[in-house]
Structures are given as C-alpha cells and as structure tokens.
Amino acid sequence: GFSEFSQNVAKMTSLRDLCCEKLSNTDARVNLPGSARAPHIVSVTLPSIKSETMLNFLSGKGICVSAGSACSSHSRNISSALVGFGLKAEEADTTIRVSVGKYNTEEEILTFCNALIEGMNTLVRIKR
C-alpha cells in the first residue's frame, strides 16, 4: 500500500542523493529541477563528452543509462525538455539520464559513479 510506496520513494531519493553527492566534486553537473524532481531520475550533464560516447563506455561496463531526457528518447532531436530546463543545445547533447529503482543498491550507485568518473577522465572531449 501507501507505506510501501513511501518507503520506495525514500529509498530512491536516498540513492539519487548519494549519486549527487558522489558527483558533486567532479566536472559533471547534476541537474535537479527544484522541488518537482522525480525521486528516481538523475540527469547529469557531462563536461564536453557526447552522451552517446559515455553510454557506450558505461555499456561496456554493464551499466545501462539513457541519453537526453525521457521526452526525447525516441527522437534524434535535442531534447526540448532539457533546453527548456536551461541547458544550451550543446549541453543537452552531453547529458545522460539515470533511473534508479527500488531494487537498486548503494553499491550499484557507487559502481555507476566510479565508472562515470573514470569515463570523464579517459574519454575524448569535444572541441567547442
């Protein structure tokens, strides 16, 4: 019932917050849209690394994330949701979306964060 739902939301929120904390001193920018944010979604803008490049890197480590925003997942267009969110078009092109669920663990979040940091340190940056 409702108490199980609240526990799930609390768990997903704490996993999301852990992710934000781990990435806080990196070049990545975690996008959190005020109080309306979903407890299970983390949007991360990478420092001049194309989202597709990072997706491939993470996929090689068995980690599945998405590019852009959910609103643009079926189109090759730059996400209007992300641009509306204050991101420039080129930032939207370097943004990934991470979903956490009630079955995810802190260990998995840390594995993701470490892989993301490794990717940021090794992948080629886009020349702007």
Active site residues: 71
> How far apart, in whole angstroms, are the C-alpha atoms of residue 77 and residue 89?
10
Contact 33, 85 (CB under 8 A): yes
Helix, strand, or coil here: 128? Answer: coil
The tokens of 9 are what? 């939301």
DSSP state of 75: S
Question: Would you say the C-alpha torsion 58, 66, 42, 27 has a positive or negative sign?
Answer: positive
